[in-house]
Structure 1
């Protein structure tokens, strides 16, 4: 049985989710201890427990220690069981992270799957639904499977109450390289508010317009309906010939709309300045599917601690080599190949 130290590297929930995803795919059991030791509240929170239980349902796994606050558990999968699934977190915990835990197994399963997930769809501590839809899933589809996600109801932190559905048509994974962004086709920014004054969105978009020197026709303010609680998100999308990237800023109590927008704009400016195709967060998300495909190569910004930690966990389950090197100033290349 593989032993995972949950305090390693960035010491967060990603270690848990990657371990679950790869245990399902490989059939290798694992035990994990010191779960989320690097966080203020260590152990399994509700969204992590939902991910564990979702993985157990997909893989018919036997688990010990799956409870709120648990610092350790053991996971022994049997076989991947595609089908219709419904997972509800019961809080504003991230649906997208639960989804990404079970996605690798279901995109290579023998039959299609349908999933409904309920909880937080727009959570500042996780990729929002828009990132999945616009940036991540198009690349998964490029590898062979067909995955379609539909947002039915937004769920902002801290109220939650969101819902989205996913249809998965599995296929063998094809490797691909992503070394050039290509020409930029479209740039746009959308600021959304739920149960908050729309002027917040207009203030954020004003910063985007001034800092990025964009025309007004690239900007959109949206008042979200059907939201269970208040929320605000600024989404900036850069669509290029070979990839779309999504950058976000989340409204927070006590943080001005201008500061929220400046944070997002800073990430966009860095991405555009270094002319690499893959942003930092997407780089982290691509590692598992590329490793399962047997290889791939992409260029990105300087790797985060999430990325380097994820590499270490992947290599505990898969016989792959992963090389990370800086090929130019602040430009990095990550290559994966079978060991």
Structure 2
């Protein structure tokens, strides 16, 4: 039994999700206490409980403490089962985080799995769908773990109601770790604005401000079409595609924040990435750690990547991964950010 203290490091839900994912992958049970102790509302909220229940369904786990607001739980996994699954958060809580929780285990299963997920698809505190589709999933495909993602309906806070379909293909025999230390040649960069049920002027203002701030032309600025019954909501995305990696930066509209300010926030993030030559941005550096560690656990050896920043979220994630897998993360500061070496043993 692995004992995890949910108050260490950044003290958020990532400790829970990483523990669930790796417990399923390795078959090791764990006890988690002080769940989300670093948050204003500690304990399991609905989206976290959905992650727990989804993980339990995928591997037939025995769980104690799986209830709303619970601050401790015990998770004892069974064998992972590929299949067809439906997971619905029931609120605007992120369904992308539910997907990321079960994704690692299902990619190590012996058959494809098809998932239907409902909830928030574009939330400020979670990876938006387009980040998973353009940045995260392509890296996993290079690792040998293919997945197909489809956005059926956008889901914004507070209404939620988003829908995602995902097919995860078995990859246990095909995983191949690799180094990711440079971006490669620049391919394209563009921005798009999703603003269902809002005046069209909101999208135009955000795109114009972003274009001015980054020097992007009209051909790089796109107003995304809305599907029926979506919204209301607002997400401004800037996508930078390179030969070896794609990064997606997202800003969210909210009451009291002007369209221009939303755009300026995205411009600031893009510029911070552009002034560095490191391969990964802060969020992708965090999320790449777990699948890379799993591949090394399966194949042995070592790998490395560079990133612009290592957040407390990322370093806490490293610590949890090291509790479950015989890998070590060794980050070193560089002129452009950080170089992270990962190796077995």
TM-score (structure 1 length as normaliser) = 0.98
Q: Is 1:335 the equivalent of 2:341?
A: yes
Q: Secondary structure at the match of 2:195?
A: strand
Matches within 5 A, 1:61-76: 61-76=61-76
The answer to whether the Cα contact below 8 Å between 1:155 and 1:227 also exists between their aligned partners in 2 is no
Q: Distance in 2 between matches of 1:234 and 1:279?
A: 17
Distance in 2 of aligned mates of 1:130 and 1:51: 20
The question of whether the paired residues in 2 share the 8 Å contact of 1:198 and 1:223 is answered with no
- 1:141 aligned residue: 141
Whether 2:318 is the aligned partner of 1:311: answer yes
- Equivalent pairs, count: 338
- Alignment of 1:321 with 2:317, yes or no, is no
SS at match of 2:127: coil
Report which stretch shifted further, 72-81 or 294-303. Answer: 294-303
Between 1-10 and 294-303, report the one with greater CA deviation: 294-303
Q: Which residue of 1 aligns with 2:102?
A: 102
CA contact (8 A) 2:153 2:230 kept: no
1:228 & 1:269 partners in 2: Cα distance?
Answer: 31
CA-CA distance at 1:198 after TM superposition: 1.2
Contact 1:12-1:37 at 8 Å conserved across structures: yes
**Does the aligned pair in 1 maintain the 2:203–2:223 contact within 8 Å?**
yes
The 10-residue stretch of structure 1 (223-232 or 180-189) with the greater mean CA deviation from structure 2: 223-232
Map 1:157-176 to 2 at 5 A.
Answer: 157-172=157-172, 173-176=175-178
CA contact (8 A) 1:154 1:226 kept: no
Q: How far has the Cα of 1:327 moved from its partner?
A: 2.4
Matched, 1:23 2:23: yes
CA distance in 2, matches of 1:199, 1:286: 37
Q: Secondary structure at the match of 1:274?
A: coil
Contact kept, 8 Å, 1:193 with 1:201, in 2: the verdict is: yes
State the distance in 2 between where 1:230 and 1:302 align. 33
After superposition, the C-alpha distances for 1:278-336 in whole angstroms (9 at most, x for unaligned) are 110001000000101114211101200100000000011011111000122x4211111
Conservation of the 8 A alpha-carbon contact between 1:154 and 1:227: no
Q: Any unmatched runs of 5+ in structure 1?
A: none
Contact kept in structure 2, 1:44 and 1:69, CA below 8 Å = yes
**8 Å contact 1:44–1:68 — kept in the other structure?**
yes
Residue number in structure 2 paired with 1:92? 92
Contact persistence 1:7–1:34 (CA under 8 A)? yes
The alignment's TM-score, normalised by the length of structure 2, stands at 0.96
Q: 1-side partners of 2:84 and 2:209: how far apart?
A: 43
Does the aligned pair in 2 maintain the 1:92–1:159 contact within 8 Å?
yes
SS at match of 1:235: strand
Residues 176-195 of structure 1: pairs in structure 2 closer than 5 A: 176-195=178-197
Q: Is the 8 A contact 2:129 2:151 kept in 1?
A: yes
Whether 1:298 aligns to 2:305 is: yes
Over the aligned positions, Cα root-mean-square deviation in angstroms equals: 0.9
**Is the Cα–Cα contact under 8 Å of residues 25 and 104 in structure 1 kept in the other structure?**
yes
Q: Which residue of 2 aligns with 1:127?
A: 127
Q: 4+ runs of 1 displaced by more than 2 Å?
A: 225-229
Shift of residue 146, structure 1, vs aligned partner: 1.5
Q: How many angstroms does 1:222 deviate by?
A: 2.5
Quick one: distance in 1 between partners of 2:169 and 2:320? 27
Cα deviation for residue 226 of structure 1 reads 2.7
Tell me the residue number matched to 1:250: 252
- 1:296 & 1:96 partners in 2: Cα distance? 27
Moved more, 176-185 or 82-91: 176-185
In structure 2, the residue matched to 1:214 is 216
Work out the CA distance in 1 between the residues paired with 2:145 and 2:327: 22
